[in-house]
Amino acid sequence: MSPAAEASVPLERYTGTPKLMVPAFGVGVLGILATLAVYLATDAKGIAAHSYLLAFSYWVGISVAFIIMIAIFHTAKAKWLILLRRTMETGASTIPIFVVLILPLAFMANYLYPWLDSSPLNAKITGLEAEHLSHKVHFYLNPTFTAVRHVIYFAVWIFAAWKLRKLSVQQDTEGGLDFTRRLRRFSPGMLPPLALTITFASFDWLMSLTPLWQSTIFGVYYFAGSFLSAFCILTIAATYARGQGLFGNLVTTAHFHNLGKLMLAFTAFWAYIAFSQFLLVWVANIPEEAPWYGVRIFGAWKPASIALFFLHFVLPFFTLLSRNLKLQPRKLSLVAFYLLAVHAFDLYWLIWPALTGDQGPSINPLTILTLVTSFVGVGGIAVGFALKNASNNYTMPVKDPYIAESLRYVQP
């Protein structure tokens, strides 16, 4: 790295922000305890369980998306994003805490998954449907194989996140091109297992809520929303991470323009995958598949489905077409906050019909309470863990050989 480039890099390590980290952990623990209290002390066990599933799948999806994002950019040898890479690595480094956060989900699983023998929900599946389900349970949806799959998921995610971050942080101390070469060699081989694990995890957590329904494109749908949300968090971090030892002051309008274009691209990609999945099910019109959409596009869920189309695609797509908006960090961050909220609504649309069916969205005090406590519970602990991991490290790869190119990046 040239002396000029080194002089422009904030070389002080980030010392941490206890004023944010401690409250994040505190709110997180209180939120999860409140959700478990509702589950244990009331008859709203299904509401509490589905609320926690929404929160867990929201935050863990973003963490895994960061891992995949880092691997993609190393594979593509992208240089403009190097300035922002440490933020992605910090987000990816939260994945170990989800090994603990999945335990309440396992505890409440009986009120989520009708394929469990101990679930009170399996009484609703009778006749030929019960026979079909028994075949799935015997081969795939059985507790032992499900546990084995989860061990594989988290082993792949934790190893990939650890390796990508370890080499990057080591480079901060030792410098040199060797670490960059090793990261670029390691990343392409990790992309297939990362893609497969997030796909099958989405099958286990979300698709198996309705075990007789299946879609091979469902994992891509879940990934698209999580990836879009990861770019939103990266945009927000780049906007507000300003101060001593932070990288935000070095992020240029060219970086924000690229982040805005990626947000636009994945807004369109999400819509493309959503429509593709709907079209395949609609055309096939198979009795086992059609009811999943039938519940959502007819009856009480129809307004929510229409709203999702406009809120998740039409409004952000046409908003992000503006070049001027993508050059203004604070306005772009407002769009990012909005898309993060809409992603939560998307997961609600995926999850909640499995609980309420034709009754439509449930809006009552207990539902609102558990949705909020679960979301801030899982999110608070994840954010606190990310801030803890960021402490005592640089907020950018200060000795990456290409950091100077990233700092002076301009639109081609």
Tens-place pLDDT, residues 59-106: 999 999 999 999 999 999 999 999 999 999 999 999 999 999 999 999
d(CA 31, CA 104): 12
3-state secondary structure the chain: CCHHHHHCCCCCCECCCHHHHHHHHHHHHHHHHHHHHHHHHCCCHHHHHHHHHHHHHHHHHHHHHHHHHHHHHHHCCCCCCHHHHHHHHHHHCCCCHHHHHHHHHHHCHHHCCCCCCCCHHHHHCCHHHHHHHHHHHHHCCCHHHHHHHHHHHHHHHHHHHHHHHHHHHHHHHHCCCHHHHHHHHHHHHHHHHHHHHHHHHHHHHCHHHCCCCCCCCHHHHHHHHHHHHHHHHHHHHHHHCCCCCCCHHHCCHHHHHHHHHHHHHHHHHHHHHHHHHHHHHHHHCCCCCHHHHHHHHCHHHHHHHHHHHHHHHHHHHHHHCCHHHHCCHHHHHHHHHHHHHHHHHHHHHHHCHHHHHHHCCCCCHHHHHHHHHHHHHHHHHHHHHHHHHHCCECCCCCCCCCHHHHHCCCCC
Does residue 355 contact residue 46 with C-beta atoms inside 8 Å?
A: yes
- pTM score: 0.94
d(CA 372, CA 395): 30
d(CA 59, CA 376): 10
Per-run averaged pLDDT (10 residues), the chain, 412 residues? 43 76 95 97 95 98 98 96 95 97 96 88 65 68 92 98 96 92 97 97 95 90 97 96 82 96 98 95 86 92 96 97 96 98 98 93 92 98 95 91 93 77
Residue 134's pLDDT is what? 66
Report how far apart the first and last C-alpha atoms of the chain are (Å, whole number).
Answer: 23
User: For residue 227, which amino acid is it?
Assistant: F
148 burial via Cβ count (<10 Å: 0-12, 13-18, 19+):
exposed
Residue 88's pLDDT is what? 97
Does residue 112 contact residue 51 with C-beta atoms inside 8 Å?
A: no
Backbone angles phi, psi at 14, to 5 degrees: -75, 120
d(CA 405, CA 5): 9
Tens-place pLDDT, residues 372-384: 999 999 999 999 9
Tokens representing residue 75 in the block: 């594979």
